[in-house]
Chains A and B, each alone.
Chain A
Amino acid sequence: MANETARLWKDGGFRPNPWQDWPEDGALEPLDPGTDALVPLERFVADPDVFLARKGRLGVRVAAGEDVAVLAEHLENIALIALEFPSFADGRNYSAARLLRERLGYDGEIRAVGDVLSDQIALMRRCGIDAFLVTHGPTRAALQGGRIPEVRHYYQPVSGPEIEIPAGSRPWARQPAA
């Protein structure tokens, strides 16, 4: 069984998650300046300098429906973008992931948080998401056991983290490189 506390799947394994959510305004205990802080997009955009000046690394949390293009000028200072999936049926942040990778050229970590299930992971990966915060027990077990069912022939050219190569003469068809 997967470790109950380790929920962050990245680079083929469960990893510790050093990131802390930025506290609500007026919270009693502010984050230590050296902590890696995950800041809601709206909060960050309202006053970027406050967060850019901190010692710890900067992460931005994007709710479904928020426009990631507003992060464009700050991307090199952002180490993590967490895309929220409030329900597996809300597909907006699949588009956000592709825009970040393919249009804005972001190459830091893109993490899916929220309702992340094994059947969505392969799709998320193709859109450029490379880390997953998984709360669903069976999905954690499936990841741990290498049982993520996948269709490995693709009809869409995308540039996710895995290298995909053209397959045959159709320019839109792709296969994993390995």
Chain B
Amino acid sequence: MYRYDEFDQAFVAERVTQFRDQVARRLAGELNEEQFKPLRLQNGVYLQLHAYMLRVAIPYGTLSAHQMRKLAHIARTYDKGYGHFTTRQNIQFNWPRLDDVPAILEELAEVEMHAIQTSGNCIRNVTADHFAGVAADEAADPRPYAEILRQWSSLHPEFLFLPRKFKIAVTGAAHDRAAIQFHDIGYEVKRNEAGELGFAVYIGGGQGRTPMVAKKIRDFLPEEDLLAYSEAILRVYNLHGRRDNKYKARIKILVFETGADVLKEEIEAEFTKIRASALRLPADEIRRIEAYFAPPAYAIALPGEAALAAARQADPGFDRWVASNVTGHRAAGHSIVTISLKPIGAPPGDATADQMDAVADIAARYSHDEIRVSHEQNLVLPHVATADLRSVFDALVTAGLATANAGLITDIIACPGLDYCALATARSIPVAQRISERFAETARQADIGDVKIKISGCINACGHHHAGHIGILGLEKKGEEVYQITLGGSGDETASIGDIVGRGFASDDIVDAVETIVDTYLERREGADESFLAAYRRLGATPFKKALYGAA
């Protein structure tokens, strides 16, 4: 893991002092709310329906057991005893008091954390593959690059007042678990024919009201040019992105209106002028930062496979959990464990302070002290010895964290919706809860397989419904909540935006509609090997429409 040096520590300390002063000036009336707003947003303080919310950055979703314990402490001391892990690998506290926020930031700085640029029209927390560094299919660990981008983007004096928020994601694997094609910039770490490291560059992806899949503007950008190229993209966007309409202000609209080819030329022209500058990354410096992310010293040749097979046979509950929540690891004798934060019938992504402490303890004992947050709002233990899986499972059962549904139909993403969000037009969490109850039975979930349901409470699409295999968008029509369904969206390397299937469903009917879709898939699939997405892509929308609305 990355460790702060004195410079980084001084940076966050000064930032806390600065924000303490800003809060004091706000409370003294020297700053009005309009003037205070961009300052608090740049420090992660957001005004929700009922209260302020504090969003804490978990850069590229990696944190230590020690840091997790601090998050638990903050939840307990300054909030109502829980936190909410988000689709951008951050954590949100929903009930802090504004005058407590400087103290919270100070506590975070003690464990090398901050809330810088988790909101506002600036470069947001950089995200990465949650299996980074342990995935078997990786060209290189994307996190050293994400860390370099995090530093460069932190309080960048030129780019703190952009037309709109700006999100960067990095993946190191061809199978994209970081949804890079739905980001303002997506970097895919890859090797060229000569074996050198670099990036494929995508720009202009995004969701919201106008969902767009990103355009690839570079097939290979040399590693050393990461910052110069990022700065070129940001400068072109800062100067030319629209500022007349906040719904047209993301870079995706600039790409769309200017044309990807023309914009690419502008970016390349800018890049040529700044390429040979202090932004060029020396290889030894990249390697120095990479060393922080070196894998832990794994015990070699651990036995475990035979014992695991026996344990699975003996306990169907354990067996199902291993089948859905355990993923292959690049190191022999090791596994990646996904801790589902989607227990049946509960709000997706929430964890209590006690659960956070339990995860920290388990990580300290069984996962070389390391935890990840996934953009699917789950937690990950990246370095578990296969021989320890049973012990980890038992500990998770005790903490109420052993739900066996990672990647299955009840592993739902939902935005806060009308229960918390001032912009919402409908509830989303209760819909997620009801769907999850309907499909609770584990054998049925296993049979259905990989289905991603994503729910947003308004067209801003924070629940990523456009990228859901089944997307649900909550709207309001004549005072009633109405849910529109999209099918066939995907956030992986085959990124696509879901198709609207037809008129929306009332709250009472939406769960039945989802079930109808799933049943149609089960009837029409070519076999258990054909996933929902594959079947939809083969069949098209027609059979699903027919099942939902009757013969046209």
| Chains A and B are bound partners | yes
Residues of A within 8 A of B (CB): 65, 88-92, 94-96, 98, 103, 117, 119, 122-124, 126-127, 138, 147, 149-158, 160, 166-173, 175
Residues on A with C-beta less than 8 A from B235 are 95
State whether A168 touches B21 (Cβ < 8 A).
Answer: no
- A143 CA to B252 CA in the complex, in Å? 39
State whether A138 touches B159 (Cβ < 8 A).
Answer: no
- A123 CA to B235 CA in the complex, in Å? 15
- Least CB distance, A115 to chain B, in whole angstroms: 9
- Least CB distance, B231 to chain A, in whole angstroms: 8
State whether B151 touches A98 (Cβ < 8 A).
Answer: no
Contact check: which of A96, A119, A168 meets B7 at CB < 8 Å?
A168
Contact check: which of B158, B280, B281 meets A91 at CB < 8 Å?
B158
Q: Does B282 contact A (CB under 8 A)?
A: yes
- Least CB distance, B249 to chain A, in whole angstroms: 11
Contact check: which of A88, A147, A155 meets B151 at CB < 8 Å?
A155
Asked whether A89 and B288 contact (CB < 8 A) given A94-B238, A127-B158, the answer is: no
- Least CB distance, B274 to chain A, in whole angstroms: 9
Q: Which 8 A-B pairs have the closest CB atoms?
A: A91-B161, A157-B278, A123-B157, A126-B157, A153-B11, A149-B18, A138-B30, A151-B14
State whether B288 touches A169 (Cβ < 8 A).
Answer: yes
State whether B278 touches A171 (Cβ < 8 A).
Answer: yes
Given contacts A92-B243, A155-B155, A172-B148, 4 further A-B contacts (CB under 8 A): A124-B157, A127-B157, A155-B152, A173-B7
Q: Which of B13-71 contact A (CB under 8 A)?
A: 14-15, 17-18, 21-22, 25, 30-31, 35, 38-39
- A174 CA to B438 CA in the complex, in Å? 56
State whether A90 touches B7 (Cβ < 8 A).
Answer: no
Residues on A with C-beta less than 8 A from B38 are 88-89
Q: Does B262 contact A (CB under 8 A)?
A: no
What DSSP secondary structure best describes chain B's contact surface?
A: helix
Asked whether A90 and B243 contact (CB < 8 A) given A119-B22, A155-B151, the answer is: yes
State whether B154 touches A98 (Cβ < 8 A).
Answer: no
B residues contacting the other copy or chain, number (CB 8 A): 45
Chain A residue at minimal CB-CB distance from B282: A171
State whether A158 touches B279 (Cβ < 8 A).
Answer: no
- A168 CA to B6 CA in the complex, in Å? 10
State whether B18 touches A94 (Cβ < 8 A).
Answer: no
State whether B151 touches A172 (Cβ < 8 A).
Answer: yes
Chain A residue at minimal CB-CB distance from B42: A119
State whether B11 touches A138 (Cβ < 8 A).
Answer: no
- Least CB distance, B476 to chain A, in whole angstroms: 29
Contact check: which of A103, A127, A157 meets B279 at CB < 8 Å?
A157
- Of A117, A122, A152, A154, the most chain B CB neighbours within 10 A belong to A154
Contact check: which of A91, A103, A117, A151 meets B11 at CB < 8 Å?
A151
- A122 CA to B22 CA in the complex, in Å? 14
Residues on B with C-beta less than 8 A from A92 are 238-239, 243
- A127 CA to B158 CA in the complex, in Å? 7
Residues on B with C-beta less than 8 A from A65 are 239, 243
Chain B residue at minimal CB-CB distance from A89: B161
Chain A residue at minimal CB-CB distance from B155: A151
- Least CB distance, A149 to chain B, in whole angstroms: 4
Contact check: which of A91, A167, A171 meets B238 at CB < 8 Å?
A91
- A116 CA to B15 CA in the complex, in Å? 20
Contact check: which of B22, B154, B239, B279 meets A95 at CB < 8 Å?
B239
State whether B157 touches A151 (Cβ < 8 A).
Answer: no
State whether A158 touches B14 (Cβ < 8 A).
Answer: no
- What per-residue 1/0 map shows which CB atoms of B268-297 lie under 8 Å from chain A? 000001000111111001001000000000
State whether A88 touches B35 (Cβ < 8 A).
Answer: yes
Chain B residue at minimal CB-CB distance from A147: B21
Residues on B with C-beta less than 8 A from A172 are 148, 151-152, 227, 278-279
